[in-house]
Amino acid sequence: MKLPVIKHLQRNNSTEQIENCIDVLESFSEYKRISDEELDVVGELITNLCGAMEVNQMIKDGMPERDAANAFSKKVIGSIDR
């Protein structure tokens, strides 16, 4: 997860564009001949895209952008600590 990437994606793409990208990457990840390294990259991309969608939703719900990004970051870090 890279917060600057998430912010960039959230600011410059619609929710629909992000969802379409996630769908394509998920389909690609199901291809049997991709390497573990490629799969890791796809996983990182999907994580950042999902983060952008979540931050975007928090902003739509009325949270300031900075607070939404920080809340998402804390949520991810909290889930890793479990």
Q: For 3-50, write each residue's pLDDT tens digit.
A: 899 999 999 999 999 999 999 999 999 999 999 999 999 999 999 999
50 in Cβ contact with 13 (< 8 Å) = no
* Alpha carbon distance 42, 34 (integer Å): 10
Mean pLDDT along residues 59-81:
88
Mean pLDDT along residues 63-75:
92
* Alpha carbon distance 60, 37 (integer Å): 35
Mean pLDDT along residues 50-70:
94
* Alpha carbon distance 66, 76 (integer Å): 16
Specify the pTM.
Answer: 0.87
* Alpha carbon distance 12, 9 (integer Å): 5
* Alpha carbon distance 74, 40 (integer Å): 22
